[in-house]
Amino acid sequence: MDISSIIQFVIDLVAVLLLALGIKGLSKVRSARSANRLAAFAMLLSVIGLISYYFGTTGISIQSWSWIIIGTILGGSLGGILARKVPMTSMPETVALFNGCGGMSSLLVALGVALFPNNNVDNFDFFISFIEIVSISISIFVGAITFSGSIVAMAKLQGWLSTPSWTQSKIRHLINIVFGIISLIAFIDLIQYSSASSIWLLVISSSLLGIGVTLPIGGADMPVVISLLNSYSGIAAASAGFVVGSQLLIVAGAMVGAAGLILTQVMCKGMNRSLISVLFGGTLSAKATNSSTKGEYTNITSCSVEECALTLEAANKVIIVPGYGLAVAQAQHTLREVTKILELNNIDVKYAIHPVAGRMPGHMNVLLAEADVPYEQLKEMDIINPDFPATDVVLVLGANDVVNPQAKNDETSPLYGMPVLDVQEARSVFVIKRGMSAGYSGIKNDLFDLPNTSMVFGDAKKVLSELITELRELGVGVK
């Protein structure tokens, strides 16, 4: 081993360790920002390792490593600009785009090695060549699916692409099976004969398979698909690591692949849906159409903002339940103002965070962090559920499915088995939403019919602004 290989090996080892620490840190809101920086630094370190290797290796021209520098500066600047410009609400589509880029780079690396093989390849023994061609085939197959699937997911979330009606019929399964079989034939042919025609057939059929599987999936299921595609991009990167002999890429790809799979499983569990039903089962609202859970409301109590303010004034303990509607209304800052007023009146305020509230993992944490809500006040579902019976007022803000008691009480409900927040246990519940429309699952919410629930109809931001006025008029929070 020459000195430049040893330096690169040590740098790669440090980069892998930092990356692992970064991924671990992402699991806590408090450490997430620094963990993200650590992981980015690990990636920079790996590029430095690669450049130092080329720099130290004799016989390699300056062009070889100068292209790496140009690519790093270009890619890094683009990533930096995107990260600064993209609003929080567009995070799912940004993640989808980044996954697509990951899939595309693995695909290009494998294509480069397959179409312009290094002369040394002939010197490899049969086993090494076999591993290499299998890795190339996996990189092309998974990389192409990840790329095309992620671009479709991004376009759908961005509103550039709608779900064509024919993709909801059973024909879509037949079409995808055909693409799958063609991909398999091309995959086997590539391993056997390494021909250019099988490479291109595999690229085309697996790209079409990625589009065919992602196109029929409804917008609200997209976050699950995106985390699955994230996992695929890790698998593609790991196999690209085998292709170019990079231990760093293998380990980093495996970590991303495993983390994406775990996140997919957590999200499916939080929504009480199997991955199979998300990928192939059509939309959840279609399932709810045939269900008894589409019934009429019989006991709705609506109240004014003033009544809500009067109840809040007399409360000691208040729990806020944020949901998708809060993000739609962009009412997080107004909500923070309301809770500040309540706290000035010595009212204990906490936020109940359901794992799949909103439309992406951690949606509510990100939204509330934007409004500088202290981390200590955000309580996860399992921690806060026992607190509801001792709570005076619960404010449900644009949340629906995550507070539906049907999930616990009605075995016929599509939500049955999904863990929910037990808000109905509190003394008074105020639900702030614009009308009686259903949430993402498309089903009736039994909470709205309960005697201790009152509906305050209106856009969340507007209602919260009026609440601030009412509370001030009542002298709440005025010292």
Q: Select from 65-73, 148-156, 196-204, 395-403 the region that touches ligand NAP (CB under 6 A).
A: 395-403
Interaction residues for ligand NAP, span 317-346 (CB under 6 A): 323-325, 328-329
Question: How far is Cα 58 from Cα 394, in angstroms, rounded to an integer?
Answer: 69
In one letter, which amino acid is 294?
K
CB-CB neighbours of 413 under 10 Å: 23
* CA end-to-end distance (rounded Å), the chain: 73
> Under rule CB under 6 A, how many of the chain's residues touch ligand NAP?
32
Candidates 104, 217, 460, 464: give the one binding ligand NAP (CB under 6 A). 460
Q: Give how far Cα 214 sits from Cα of 98, 185, 258, 305, 340, Å.
A: 16, 22, 21, 43, 43
Name the residue nearer to ligand NAP (CB basis): 101 or 464: 464
Q: Select from 124-132, 143-151, 377-385, 393-401 the region that touches ligand NAP (CB under 6 A).
A: 393-401
> 43-47 — which CB contacts under 8 Å span 24+ positions?
43/15, 43/19, 44/72, 44/76, 45/11, 45/14, 45/15, 45/18, 46/11, 46/12, 46/15, 46/248, 46/252, 47/72
Measured from the CB of residue 261, what is the shortest distance to ligand NAP in angstroms?
15
State yes or no: residue 59 binds ligand NAP (CB under 6 A).
Answer: no
Candidates 441, 454, 456, 464: give the one binding ligand NAP (CB under 6 A). 441
State yes or no: residue 402 binds ligand NAP (CB under 6 A).
Answer: yes
Candidates 93, 132, 401, 446: give the one binding ligand NAP (CB under 6 A). 401
State yes or no: residue 431 binds ligand NAP (CB under 6 A).
Answer: no
Measured from the CB of residue 436, what is the shortest distance to ligand NAP in angstroms?
6
3-state secondary structure of 428: strand
Catalytic residue among 2, 12, 348, 401: 401
Measured from the CB of residue 304, what is the shortest distance to ligand NAP in angstroms?
16
Measured from the CB of residue 362, what is the shortest distance to ligand NAP in angstroms?
8
393, 256 Cβ separation under 8 angstroms: no
Question: How far is Cα 471 from Cα 332, in angstroms, rounded to an integer?
Answer: 18
State yes or no: residue 91 binds ligand NAP (CB under 6 A).
Answer: no
Name the residue nearer to ligand NAP (CB basis): 235 or 364: 364
State yes or no: residue 400 binds ligand NAP (CB under 6 A).
Answer: yes
Candidates 280, 459, 465, 474: give the one binding ligand NAP (CB under 6 A). 459
Angle between helices 460-473 and 305-313 (to 10 degrees): 50
Measured from the CB of residue 284, what is the shortest distance to ligand NAP in angstroms?
8
Question: How far is Cα 219 from Cα 236, in angstroms, rounded to an integer?
Answer: 25
Name the residue nearer to ligand NAP (CB basis): 215 or 396: 396
State yes or no: residue 260 binds ligand NAP (CB under 6 A).
Answer: no
Question: How far is Cα 231 from Cα 266, in angstroms, rounded to an integer?
Answer: 13
Secondary structure tally for the chain: helices H, strands E = 18, 6
DSSP string, 340-391: HHHHHTT-EEEEEE-TT-SSSTTHHHHHHHHTT--GGGEEEHHHHGGGGGG-
Candidates 439, 444, 446, 447: give the one binding ligand NAP (CB under 6 A). 439
Name the residue nearer to ligand NAP (CB basis): 43 or 329: 329
Candidates 125, 127, 437, 451: give the one binding ligand NAP (CB under 6 A). 437
Candidates 240, 255, 267, 268: give the one binding ligand NAP (CB under 6 A). 267
Candidates 216, 234, 358, 419: give the one binding ligand NAP (CB under 6 A). 358
State yes or no: residue 429 binds ligand NAP (CB under 6 A).
Answer: no
Name the residue nearer to ligand NAP (CB basis): 133 or 393: 393
CB-CB neighbours of 164 under 10 Å: 10
Measured from the CB of residue 462, what is the shortest distance to ligand NAP in angstroms?
8
Q: Give how far Cα 57 sits from Cα of 6, 54, 241, Å.
A: 12, 5, 20
State yes or no: residue 464 binds ligand NAP (CB under 6 A).
Answer: no
Name the residue nearer to ligand NAP (CB basis): 426 or 460: 460
218, 280 Cβ separation under 8 angstroms: no
Contacts of 268 (CB under 8 A, 6+ apart): 224, 274, 275, 278
Contacts of 428 (CB under 8 A, 6+ apart): 311, 392, 393, 394, 452, 454
239, 216 Cβ separation under 8 angstroms: no
Q: Residue with the closest Cβ to ligand NAP?
A: 439
* Strands 428-433 vs 453-457: parallel, antiparallel or unpaired: parallel
Q: Select from 9-17, 108-116, 426-434, 467-475 the region that touches ligand NAP (CB under 6 A).
A: 426-434
State yes or no: residue 172 binds ligand NAP (CB under 6 A).
Answer: no
Active site annotation includes 401: yes
State yes or no: residue 357 binds ligand NAP (CB under 6 A).
Answer: yes
Candidates 95, 157, 399, 429: give the one binding ligand NAP (CB under 6 A). 399
DSSP string, 437-473: ---TT----GGGGSTTEEEEES-HHHHHHHHHHHHHH
Residue 264 is encoded by which pair of tokens? 């997919």
State yes or no: residue 220 binds ligand NAP (CB under 6 A).
Answer: yes
Active-site residues, by number, are 401
Residues near ligand NAP, by CB under 6 A? 220-221, 223, 267, 271, 323-325, 328-329, 356-361, 363, 398-402, 432-435, 437, 439-441, 459-460
